[in-house]
Chains A and B, each alone.
Chain A
Amino acid sequence: MDLKVEPLKCTGCRICEFACNFHYDESISPIGSSLMFYREEKKNYYGLMLKREKTLLLGRPEGERILKPGEQIEGASASSKPILLRVACDRCAEEEDGPLCVRACPFGVLSME
């Protein structure tokens, strides 16, 4: 089972980032999350990146894409929250009701498959 992203369902509310961070350190913050929201605001182009153990899952409007270490991320804007330094998603393994990001998202963008 792993997290799946359906990017075009996303509305950019960012609560998934904060729910993920809460799973790790029980605070409200975007900084420690395995998920990272990115946006090119004037183009209304936005999506999610998920840090996994060995890959990055890039949820772009064009669809999902898996990136391996060293591959360049196209379309994602520079940010002070580099995704490669983040902790890899542990799928909230010990959470009885499933991953917090899945539970927090109002639009069903994230699911387990």
Chain B
Amino acid sequence: METINNYTGNILIADLASGECETEELSQELVEKALGGAAINMELYEQYKDRDPLILGTGFFTATFFPCSCLAVLTGKSPVTGAIGHVPLTWQVGVELKLSGFDFVVLLGASDKPVRLWLHDGLSDINESQDVWGKDVWESVDKIREAYGDDMIQTLLIGKAGKNKVPLAQVSENYWGSKDSFGFGAVFGAKNLKAIAMRGLGALEVAEGFFQKCIELKNEILNGAIKGKSGLKDFIAPLGIDMSIKAKIESATHRLNACYNCPYPCYTFFKYREAPNVMAQTGVADPGCLTSGLAGLTRFYMLGIDAPQAMEKCFKVGVQPAAAAQILEKKGIKDLAGAEAAIEALASDPVKPEGSTWPIAVNLPPAASIFSSAVPPKPVFSPVSAFGAQDAGQFWVRRQALAYTIGMCPICALLTPEVSTEKIVELVRMSAEWDDFSVDKLNSILDNLIAKSSG
């Protein structure tokens, strides 16, 4: 390896107990050993394992021209599984984190008072956060953005459930929940960490030829398995979910949203406080909610509840929607008012999610438990053979390990057989002038990630 394009070169060590931050260099040796994302997170977790670590990191391609390169990963010990979990953070989190000047953030210990971490322009501050400690997620996002003066700030934060340290608590990406199925909201709560706020206005170097190669790959993806499809609605039939859900989603959809540099917009905004087809700006402050959480949506719809409104309640208190819907089903709740009251109560309830939250059969090997269960449990538009694989369960685990390491959205990784291991290796070689990087080396990095995470 001759250079480290795609990274800023900085690891932030944030000691919440002392309130001190230090910056360390992201060494070439560490990138050569683990490449990025969850694999480097795991190395850092082991390095600091005696100091109650929680690691936030970006992938090798995160925030670059590589298609679907939105991903950041949160790694730590899950209060749900009791083992290592890696949470994929999508939307704009990865790009804002990396361009704030930090490729990785190591959060150590616990603060003795509520704080938030503010990352921008290569600077880091641990600020008091008593002002939003008791606030719900939506109000907290508004207040944090107002405090730092920029509506494009991305936040990872907790609500009441995280404050109460319950296993259903999620770390939320802005207003909209996340794919955190590991209860890391409770870990934030235990650390007295209300939020991490990020604004990325920095810059990354780009290898010659990388832009054009990525455009070619993006065009291949657009003309491949996803062609003619968009949104969560087109996941319904291929995943074997009840087709009545598709019509419900379509009737309430406002506009689709894509994460950073993503050619497949799966995030769906639902409007229910004004007509879904209203595109102009109106005076309705909170017209609806945004989600890519298909398992939760489906489960709430199957209870006969207006699912997007139930999702909003989950987002505000900061609990996992799919797990909450599963619990509501057992309680026999079938109306929105009852659901909202029950969700509010879950924010103080030590109940744990049970098994898969998908309303379809899931057949994944034990190693799958280190990755988020909010991601579809199989490829959506193509058979595993289109990816050159045979065993569906093993394929899912390795494809997730790959996505979490290079910084690719793990849902998109299941939509795009065009993104082959060989193409990834070619683009890593190009980016880092790393001539001896190979498929074998990449596989070895993924093997290590899975083995170390599985304990």
Contacts and interface: CB of A to CB of B under 8 A. Distances in A.
Contacts of A21: 203
Given A61-B280, A81-B201, A106-B218, A18 B151 contact: no
Contact of A62 (B152, B215, B254, B280): B280
A79 interface: yes
Given A11-B258, A61-B279, A79-B150, A42 B175 contact: yes
Interface in B408-454: none
A103 B215 contact: yes
Given A40-B281, A44-B288, A15 B175 contact: no
Contacts of B258: 11-13, 106
Given A41-B174, A43-B281, A80 B150 contact: yes
A11 B257 contact: yes
A38 B261 CA distance: 15
Interface residues of A, number: 39
A36 B5 CA distance: 24
B65 to A, nearest CB: 7
A28 B203 contact: yes
B281 A75 contact: yes
B206 interface: yes
Interface string A21-56: 110011111110000001111111100000000000
A31 B281 CA distance: 26
Contacts of B287: 42-44
Given A29-B201, A77-B151, A104 B215 contact: yes
A29 B204 contact: yes
A13 B260 CA distance: 4
Contacts of A38: 152
B89 interface: no
A102 B360 CA distance: 40
B152 A39 contact: yes
B261 A14 contact: yes
Sorting the interface of chain B by its residue count into under 10, 10 to 19, 20 to 34 or 35 or more gives 35 or more
B31 to A, nearest CB: 17
Contacts of A31: 201-203
B63 interface: yes
Contacts of B255: 8, 11, 44, 61
B-side binding surface: helix, strand, loop or mixed? loop
Contacts of B204: 27-29
B199 A80 contact: yes
Given A11-B258, A28-B63, A106 B222 contact: yes
Contacts of A78: 149-151
A93 B92 CA distance: 30
B285 A42 contact: yes
Contacts of A13: 258-263, 265
A27 B280 contact: no
Contact of A27 (B149, B174, B205, B260): B205
A41 B151 contact: yes
A27 B201 CA distance: 12
A100 B211 contact: yes
Given A11-B257, A14-B92, A80-B150, A30 B201 contact: yes
Given A43-B284, A104-B218, A12 B257 contact: yes
A79 B153 CA distance: 9
Contacts of A22: 65, 206, 211
B87 interface: no
Contacts of B218: 104, 106
A31 B152 CA distance: 13
A80 B271 CA distance: 29
B256 interface: yes
Interface string B27-64: 00000000000000000000000000000000000011
Given A13-B259, A40-B281, A44-B271, 8 more contacts: A13-B262, A19-B211, A29-B202, A43-B281, A44-B257, A80-B152, A104-B215, A106-B263
Interface of A: 8, 11-15, 18-19, 21-22, 25-31, 38-45, 60-62, 74-75, 77-81, 100, 103-104, 106
23 contacts: A11-B256, A12-B257, A13-B260, A13-B261, A13-B262, A14-B261, A15-B260, A28-B99, A28-B205, A28-B206, A29-B202, A30-B99, A41-B174, A42-B175, A43-B287, A44-B269, A44-B271, A44-B290, A45-B281, A61-B255, A80-B149, A80-B201, A106-B258
Interface of B: 63-65, 92, 95, 99, 138, 149-152, 174-175, 199-206, 211, 215, 218, 222, 254-263, 265, 269, 271, 279-282, 284-288, 290
